[in-house]
Structure 1
Amino acid sequence: MMFSTISGSRLCALPLIMALGACVSFGGKAPASMLVLTADNVVAAGTARTAAAADALVIQIPQVPRKLDTNRVPVQIDASSIAYLKDAFWADKPARLMQMLVAETVSAKTGNLVLNEVDAGGKAVRYISGSLLEFGIDAETNEAVVTYDVVKIIRGNATEKRRFEARRAVTAIAPAPAGAALNAAANDVAGQIADWAG
């Protein structure tokens, strides 16, 4: 017989596996495209910076509310409800994308040696951290909104905190225009942070 070499336990498992396949996806259709942040200010290829790890500026990954702990684009419908923009997906979560954008912008605009925490090995004395509060679309105003509460920590000095925000009009609440507007607003905020970080 066709199933004579399959043990009884395996035969019992077959219906379960087939049923599981009907309700669980082991992958998914990849989106047609993914959104990224592109820095307006970039470090030129070949640029070298040398400094002691203690003199480096560490840019930490910001904290985010649950609505931003995803690679989807939130749309604020009104004061009490949000939705996610259909077919719009970031290549990474907003916190990580913003950390990389701020690091690149600060490095390009200030000339600082900018590291992440792993590279600094716990020796740095200057840190930029904080909370990315908004990173999405406001449907009531048709604007992309980026709001970042930034904390500047220098060991031995007073800690400073400042809120940065930028808004950009969106021509349509759709993936491409939303991504472009959020990229512009994020670059604005990153530039403000770089000017403040010094």
Structure 2
Amino acid sequence: MSKFVSIRAAKSIALTVVAAAALSGCVSFGSKAPASLLTLSADASVATGASKSGLAKDALVVLTPEVPRKLDTNRVPVQIDAGNIAYLKDSVWTDKPAILVQQLLAETVAAKNGTLILNEVETAGKAERYLSGQLVEFGVDEASMEAVAIFDAVHIRKGGSIEKRRFEAREAMGEIKPRPAGEALNSAANKVASDVAAWLAAL
């Protein structure tokens, strides 16, 4: 009896191993992680515990910027010359640049201007002020060895005026590698966000 049980157990183990092997050929458990995961962090941020109240119509809604196709990715573009781009090796953004810049703008404007920032759902369609725009450039220029951020900001008032202004920041890089690129782009993005906040405060 014990011999019979042992043989049956051995068969069961063998079948389990075969099934696992077959499954591993069909299911991917993830590819190799990139050497660097890049993100943006705000130089000016809202203090923990700080609160802001107001009417939904007075809030500012910061929309996700439009982007050209080369920025509609988690990779960092490197402008080789006027007609060619490549992507920085071994590094990706933690999210698409448009989302990261939207979050940075919202945090910076809230911190510097004391503005009530809400999303469209939170305002239930009652907001009268919007910050929109296009992220024109957000990458590395090989010729100048600079990180470049260019944002065309659009301030919209429902039933009122529309203002548009271009903001640009450049940060020098010693070498085109993930860490210096990430640091330079973060610095350039914060400069743009700070300038946008000052512009909004003056409107």
TM-score by length of 2: 0.85
- Determine the structure 2 residue equivalent to 1:54: 57
Deviations 1:168-195 (CA, angstroms, capped at 9, x unpaired): 0011100000000000000000001101
Q: Point out the structure with max Rg over C-alpha.
A: 2
1:74 & 1:95 partners in 2: Cα distance? 14
2:164 pairs, out of 161, 171, 196, with: 161
| Aligned residue pair count | 188
Measured in 2, the distance between the counterparts of 1:150 and 1:26 equals 41
Quote the offset at 1:80 in angstroms: 0.3
Aligned to 2:146: 143
Q: Deviations over 1:42-71 (max 9, x none)?
A: 111110000011110000000111111111
Within the candidate set 60, 65, 75, 1:72 is matched to: 75
Please tell me whether residue 193 in structure 1 is matched to residue 196 in structure 2: yes
Question: Hey, what's the Cα distance between the residues in 1 that align with 2:125 and 2:35?
Answer: 40
**How far apart are the structure 1 equivalents of 2:175 and 2:87?**
14
Name the CA distance, whole Å, in 1 between partners of 2:35 and 2:151: 29
Deviations 1:93-150 (A, max 9, x none): 0000000000000000100101122222211000000110101000010000000011
> Which sections of structure 2, spanning at least 5 residues, go unmatched?
1-10, 12-21
RMSD of aligned residue pairs (Cα, Å): 2.3
Question: In structure 1, what residue type is equivalent to 2:85?
Answer: I
- Following the alignment from structure 1 to structure 2, what is the Cα–Cα distance between the partners of residues 166 and 25? 41
Q: Which residue of 2 aligns with 1:10?
A: none
Aligned letter for 1:52?
L
- Which secondary structure state, in structure 2, belongs to the residue aligned with residue 194 of structure 1? helix
* Gap regions ≥5 residues in structure 1: 3-16
**Deviation >4 Å, runs of 4+:** none
Q: Report if aligned partners of 2:36, 2:179 keep a CA contact under 8 Å in 1.
A: no
Partners of 1:168 and 1:28 in 2: how far apart? 32
